[in-house]
Structure 1
Amino acid sequence: MEYITKQYIELKCLEATQPIGNMYVAVINQDELEYISFADVRRLRDGSDNREVEDYIGIQRELNPNREKEIGKYVNLIDASFPNSIILAMSSNHAEFDEKTNTMKILYKQDVAKVLDGQHRIAGLNHYEKPGNTFQCIVTIYIDMELEDQAIVFATINKEQKNVSNSLVADLYAFAQSRSPQKTAHNVVRALNAKEGSPFYKRIKILGNARNKEVETITQDTFVKNLIKYISKNPQQDRDFYKRKKRKKLPLVEGAELERYFLRNIFIEDEEDYKIAQILWNYFHAVQKRWPEAWDNLRPNMILNRSTGFIALMRFFKHAYLHFNKIGEIVSKEEFYSIFKEIDIDERNFTKDVFVPGSSGQGELYRQLRDKSGLAK
């Protein structure tokens, strides 16, 4: 093909500075964009698996053949238009910006531009039937963007505009190189879901895209939200601190603040998150031991192992943990069980008929756990 003989393409750009770094807005011809870009679009076609962000993005945002065909038809209409920018990430080994001429020089080679947003539009352009006519696209280019930031840009764009699941957004924090409450919660959830013997073994809908809905009864998003509330008042602010300060640590908390965020100092002091995972493992192991049939019962009418039961148990978790006056330490399975064995709730009652799905059922179960345990505060 004649365009392969090109060595570089040059694009006039507008440079914009934002907190995440500089970005460059340009206009590029459709055939050039198709040639230099890559995303799960090409990965899925050629079977290659050398992916980074796409390993996560691809699970949730696989190329939809029907969407590709729909856009393929659209691009050939007389009034076809892509008014929104396609987001690309490139290495400085392949692209260089000249401030004097406001020109971006890009190596004209396949797979030099990673698509963070816009893979379906590019796939649809493969069906453009008017090669003699120009179809130009607006692109936003990031140079030498860290993998973490690529993931966060993707998550931000899609959380706000395309309703990507909150579980996927939580999962993308795994790319973070610095600590954050989000990453800690992600690590804990992953560990509890993956470790055989865990009360949550293969029970959590990672990425909110369950392979077996009958077994996976709790979403990653539900778990993360109910865990983070005991770690941080402002998770985004904490994440920003670690990203800016690198190796410095947040100040420890004490008094009433420590009682409210009783896992916070463990999060701050430890390099690993195993302590938080072990505490939750022990707590829910005690729940499973106290009500084994209700916890392991996968019938849709049962609520203990679903969001109604889980959210109520996570509210009660604060009372159970603080009861032992061991903040910062691991409370054992036996200690947690000593609380639950005193709670007189028949496990046959953990149904939707008794505890209605939603906040009312969650609240009622929480109140019964609190009152029957004698741990009310």
Structure 2
Amino acid sequence: MILAEDQKIEIKCLEVKQPIGTYYIGVIGHEDLVKISYADIRRLEVGDEKREVEIYSGIQRELSKNRVKEISKYVNLIDATFPSSVILHINEKDVEYNNETKIMYLPFRDNVAKVLDGQHRIAGLENYEGTKDGFDVNVTIFIEMELEDQAIVFATINKTQTKVNKSLVADLFAFAKFRSPQKTCHNIVRALNQKEGSPFKDKIKILGTADDKEKETITQATFSEKLMQFLSKDPMDDRNTYKKGKIPEKYTGIELERRPLRNLFIEENDADIAKIIWEYFDAVQEKWPNAWWEVKREMILNKSTGFLAFMRFFKDAYVKKGEIGSIVSKDYYKSLFDKTTLKEKDFNRDNFLPGSGGQSKLYNQLVEETEI
């Protein structure tokens, strides 16, 4: 329910005492949180007209538009959640707290609560379109905190946060009960890494294993993310559709050419997807066996530079064959590779620098020489 600006927001809160002082933990509706919060953005201001003077104020980082867009989409998924607390600072004059009822009263107006952590989540919640029950958010509220302490809290939170390993994220989809592009790609990558005769046998860095690390040259996350591009233009939306008990749409025309494994995924022909990738890279490893299987620092074919370039070329070659949805034999790809001047010794860091530049150079050479 939207309140008038002369009304108060009621928040159920518990008082917490720690070395830094007393603060409160509570629950607030997303609409109220969006209304009363603001971020003290660390910004660049222009001083002298003859030269720009960098004057920094505040303790927050600027909003990332891409991050806000990502969260705006996420909050509308069927299983969206923000389990960690949004951290706010509020001036004492704006707070009333009843210690008996454990209720805090705040004015329903702009610029009441400074955001110390969680500004992207709040910005994303502005686009929440979910149920009438709304989206409750757990908040940590500091009252009348010195600016220095605010900065310390912010810095401590962001300094100690550890970025989640992408391969761990990919691995966790194995536990998902519902179908999704993420789970399908995870299963395919694991199968290709385990099956005898696979061109990827023991070559993928899978979390939780420690067999032959010297042979592992491609991360699970790199493989899964690239393969997923051939299945879906919006993996999270597809996952959300399956969780609702529905089936995502198939692709046709240009969209199917961009993501040629899409309809196999929708038809749950995951084994065929795995076989298609198997046949293609079987041709790669037969054409350049030493460059593919030997692990040397200077060689790039069996690392992300070579792998991603060849995955990019796979789409072109597969679509060119004109049999989207079918398992194409490795002989077709070998006939294309025979047109190239690439020798095993050419797949080195001097010719193809690690990163996007080297990937593009290798991909472009494959396209030009095969006339695909």
For Structure 1 versus Structure 2, the TM-score category normalised by the shorter chain is 0.5 to 0.7
The answer to whether 1:258 aligns with 2:267 is no
Q: CA distance change for structure 1 residues 22 and 187 in 2, over 3 Å: closer, same or farther?
A: closer
Post-superposition CA distance 1:160-217 (Å, at most 9, x none) = 9421210000110111111111011101100000101100000000128765442100
Instruction: Give, in whole Å, the separation in 1 of the partners of 2:210 and 2:262.
Output: 30
Q: CA distance change for structure 1 residues 324 and 177 in 2, over 3 Å: closer, same or farther?
A: same
Q: Which runs of 5+ in 1 are unaligned?
A: 1-11, 26-82, 84-101, 103-137, 139-159
* Equivalent of 1:325 in 312, 322, 325: 322
Max radius of gyration: which structure?
A: 2
Residue number in structure 2 paired with 1:344: 341
Instruction: Give, in whole Å, the separation in 2 of the partners of 1:251 and 1:216.
Output: 36
CA deviation after TM superposition for structure 1 residue 268, in Å: 0.4
Instruction: Give, in whole Å, the separation in 1 of the partners of 2:28 and 2:194.
Output: 42
The DSSP-based 3-state class of the residue aligned with 2:248 is coil
Q: Which runs of 5+ in 2 are unaligned?
A: 1-13, 15-24, 30-74, 88-101, 103-137, 139-159
Instruction: Give, in whole Å, the separation in 1 of the partners of 2:292 and 2:260.
Output: 26
CA deviation after TM superposition for structure 1 residue 354, in Å: 1.1
Post-superposition CA distance 1:331-371 (Å, at most 9, x none) = 11222222112222111111111111111111110011111
Q: CA distance change for structure 1 residues 21 and 370 in 2, over 3 Å: closer, same or farther?
A: closer
TM-score by length of 1: 0.57
**CA RMSD of the aligned region, Å?**
3.2
1:232-243 aligned within 5 A: 232-243=232-243
Instruction: Give, in whole Å, the separation in 1 of the partners of 2:285 and 2:192.
Output: 14
Residue number in structure 2 paired with 1:20: 79
Instruction: Give, in whole Å, the separation in 2 of the partners of 1:274 and 1:15.
Output: 46
For 1:189, the aligned partner's letter is V
Residue number in structure 1 paired with 2:220: 220
Residue number in structure 2 paired with 1:269: 267
The answer to whether 1:183 aligns with 2:180 is no
Residue number in structure 2 paired with 1:281: 278
* Equivalent of 1:367 in 364, 367, 370: 364
Post-superposition CA distance 1:110-141 (Å, at most 9, x none) = xxxxxxxxxxxxxxxxxxxxxxxxxxxx9xxx
Post-superposition CA distance 1:306-341 (Å, at most 9, x none) = 111001001101111012101111111222222112
Post-superposition CA distance 1:5-55 (Å, at most 9, x none) = xxxxxxx99788995389999xxxxxxxxxxxxxxxxxxxxxxxxxxxxxx
Q: CA distance change for structure 1 residues 310 and 21 in 2, over 3 Å: closer, same or farther?
A: closer
Residue number in structure 1 paired with 2:170: 170
Instruction: Give, in whole Å, the separation in 1 of the partners of 2:173 and 2:83.
Output: 25
Residue number in structure 2 paired with 1:203: 203
Instruction: Give, in whole Å, the separation in 2 of the partners of 1:303 and 1:352.
Output: 6
For 1:185, the aligned partner's letter is C
How many residue pairs match? The answer is 237
Q: CA distance change for structure 1 residues 21 and 184 in 2, over 3 Å: closer, same or farther?
A: closer
Equivalent pair of 1:316/1:370 in contact (CA under 8 Å) = yes
Residue number in structure 1 paired with 2:65: none
Q: CA distance change for structure 1 residues 208 and 373 in 2, over 3 Å: closer, same or farther?
A: farther
Residue number in structure 1 paired with 2:247: 249
Instruction: Give, in whole Å, the separation in 2 of the partners of 1:240 and 1:249.
Output: 10
Equivalent pair of 1:192/1:199 in contact (CA under 8 Å) = yes
CA deviation after TM superposition for structure 1 residue 256, in Å: 0.7
More helix by share: 1
The DSSP-based 3-state class of the residue aligned with 2:342 is coil
The DSSP-based 3-state class of the residue aligned with 2:207 is helix
Instruction: Give, in whole Å, the separation in 2 of the partners of 1:338 and 1:331.
Output: 12
For 2:249, the aligned partner's letter is P
TM-score by length of 2: 0.58
The DSSP-based 3-state class of the residue aligned with 1:360 is helix
Residue number in structure 1 paired with 2:95: none
Equivalent pair of 2:202/2:212 in contact (CA under 8 Å) = no
Q: CA distance change for structure 1 residues 20 and 257 in 2, over 3 Å: closer, same or farther?
A: closer
For 1:204, the aligned partner's letter is I
Residue number in structure 1 paired with 2:54: none
Residue number in structure 1 paired with 2:296: 299
Instruction: Give, in whole Å, the separation in 1 of the partners of 2:234 and 2:206.
Output: 24
Instruction: Give, in whole Å, the separation in 2 of the partners of 1:208 and 1:346.
Output: 35
Instruction: Give, in whole Å, the separation in 1 of the partners of 2:335 and 2:203.
Output: 25
The DSSP-based 3-state class of the residue aligned with 2:321 is coil
The DSSP-based 3-state class of the residue aligned with 1:348 is helix
1:37-56 aligned within 5 A: none
For 2:264, the aligned partner's letter is I
Instruction: Give, in whole Å, the separation in 2 of the partners of 1:359 and 1:211.
Output: 30
The DSSP-based 3-state class of the residue aligned with 1:283 is helix
For 1:222, the aligned partner's letter is T
Instruction: Give, in whole Å, the separation in 1 of the partners of 2:351 and 2:298.
Output: 10
